[in-house]
């Protein structure tokens, strides 16, 4: 019989974290066991990798073991970076469940090798907590523990907290450079089963060098709807960045949003954003995650002005509605002449997801003097395709229903739809469509007997 060496890593919690350190040091010393056994890990029926800034070292290690694994489900929101578990050659080992589809998994979803879940961001933590979205192992990217043993979830709480609380095993990438976000944003070190320590920059989202004239035109129109003392929600991209450029003359703005980026930091530093007029969490920026540059991360780090909360709170329409003058600004891929908003798909092809659009559109609509806004360019594909359409393409999804839409904004103006008939909506939407397509849209509306 040939003698073999086994390394047994027993127990979880803090002891599991120490075991991870033991394993790392043994490997560094050249010790190579023939067998590694974890006695408290349990069955791995599902994995959750939450946050826009995933623990890439853990993901790569997991994918490196693809030959040993079969039928592992990888569940997450939009992420950036490595998603090799979604490659065709790994289909036997992994299947991805997408709660919001990013560019790194879009092909897998549309080729049928991954699953897309249409779901409101506000509902995901509850689905995880109930077990409807199963999580056995959570891979998380967090900041180091403080003197009391609490680790911050850093740049993203969103659904990560729910995943870590539900998981049987929590494997943490502890990054010395992860900013320490405050609020409902902590996990105690005793909950960590295994720890891998790193000291490397947090992935930044590339920032545009300048905002286009098209985006500026849309941003200027949106800014006309924003009152002094408003509380804002907006996403990321050129149009939100353009809106922020036109707010420098406003005062006492607040933020209650699922995410923010560098533009919010600039307005805070200039004094435009101070939260003094907020009717909920006065004086605080309330958010769930950030996507931005190091400037944004430095602003977030240990800043009492910013509170992170999970999305079942931040995105709850009833919580949102408690902010007077709540102004929600969301993007769309297309809007039809009746006001239906498509934001997650291009025809039958899944492009992104529901995210928090409907959460904030409905929350802002319920708020006193609230304004739900859909903003989009009037054309796509170099001006050859109208985004204001007679009817949504076959198979396209409706993220925001026509009964929920209040304002639709393009570079050509503002269409106010709430409480309007189909005839009134069609006329208003044609008016903000690109001039090259207005006659065709009018003709289509007449053919449908809308006009």
Could you list the active site residues? 258
Contacts of 11 (CB under 8 A, 6+ apart): 19, 39, 40
β-strand 341-342 against 407-410: which pairing, if any? unpaired
Contacts of 188 (CB under 8 A, 6+ apart): 149, 150, 151
Helix (H) or strand (E) holding 248: none
Residue bearing tokens 């049987």? 168
DSSP class of residue 371 equals E
Residue from 332, 330, 336 nearest 345 by CA: 332
User: What are the DSSP calls for 373-442, one per residue?
Assistant: EEE--SEETTTTEESEESSPPTT---SB-TTT--EEEETTEEEE-TT--HHHHHHHHHHHS-HHHHHHHH
Interior/surface letters 199-231, b for 16+ CB within 10 angstroms, e for the rest? eeebebeeeeeebeebbbbbbebbbebbeebbb
409 contacts 302 by C-beta, under 8 angstroms: no
State the alpha helices, DSSP H only, in 118-159. 124-130
């Amino acid at each position: 019989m040939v003698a073999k060496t086994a390394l047994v890593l027993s127990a979880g919690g803090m002891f599991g974290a120490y075991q991870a350190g033991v394993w790392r040091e043994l490997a560094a010393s050249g010790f190579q066991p023939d067998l590694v056994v974890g006695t408290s890990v349990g069955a791995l029926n599902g994995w959750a990798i939450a946050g826009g800034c995933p623990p890439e070292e853990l993901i790569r290690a997991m994918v490196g073991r693809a030959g040993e694994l079969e039928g592992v489900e990888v569940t997450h929101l939009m992420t950036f970076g490595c998603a090799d578990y979604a490659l065709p050659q790994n289909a036997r080992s992994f299947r991805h469940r997408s709660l919001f589809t990013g560019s790194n998994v879009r092909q897998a979803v549309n080729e049928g090798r991954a699953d897309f879940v249409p779901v409101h961001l506000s509902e995901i933590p509850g689905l995880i907590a109930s077990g409807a979205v199963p999580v056995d192992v959570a891979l998380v990217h967090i900041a180091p523990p403080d003197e009391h043993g609490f680790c911050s979830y850093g740049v993203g709480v969103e659904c990560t907290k729910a995943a870590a609380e539900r998981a049987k095993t929590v494997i943490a990438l502890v990054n010395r450079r992860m900013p320490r976000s405050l609020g409902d944003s902590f996990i105690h070190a005793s909950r960590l089963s295994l720890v891998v320590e790193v000291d490397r920059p947090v992935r930044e989202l590339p920032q545009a060098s300048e905002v286009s004239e098209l985006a500026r035109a849309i941003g200027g129109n949106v800014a006309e709807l924003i009152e002094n003392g408003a509380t804002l929600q907006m996403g990321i991209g050129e149009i939100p960045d353009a809106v922020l450029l036109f707010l420098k003359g406003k005062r006492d703005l607040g933020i209650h949003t699922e995410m923010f980026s560098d533009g919010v930091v600039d307005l805070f530093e200039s004094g435009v954003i101070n939260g003094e007029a907020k009717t909920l969490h006065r004086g605080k920026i309330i958010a769930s995650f950030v996507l931005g540059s190091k400037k944004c991360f430095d602003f977030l780090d240990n800043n009492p002005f910013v509170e992170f909360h999970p999305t079942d709170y931040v995105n709850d329409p009833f919580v949102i509605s408690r902010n007077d003058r709540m102004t929600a600004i969301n993007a769309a891929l297309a809007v039809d002449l009746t006001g239906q908003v498509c934001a997650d798909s291009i025809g039958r092809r899944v492009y992104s997801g529901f995210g928090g659009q409907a959460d904030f559109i409905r929350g802002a609509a319920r708020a006193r003097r609230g304004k739900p806004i859909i903003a989009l360019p009037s054309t796509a594909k170099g001006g050859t395709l109208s985004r204001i359409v007679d009817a949504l393409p076959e198979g396209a999804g409706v993220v925001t229903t026509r009964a929920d839409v209040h304002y639709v904004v393009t570079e050509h103006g503002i269409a106010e739809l709430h409480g309007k008939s189909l005839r009134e909506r069609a006329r208003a939407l044609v008016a903000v469509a690109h001039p090259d397509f207005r006659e065709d849209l009018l003709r289509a509306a007449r053919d449908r007997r809308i006009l």
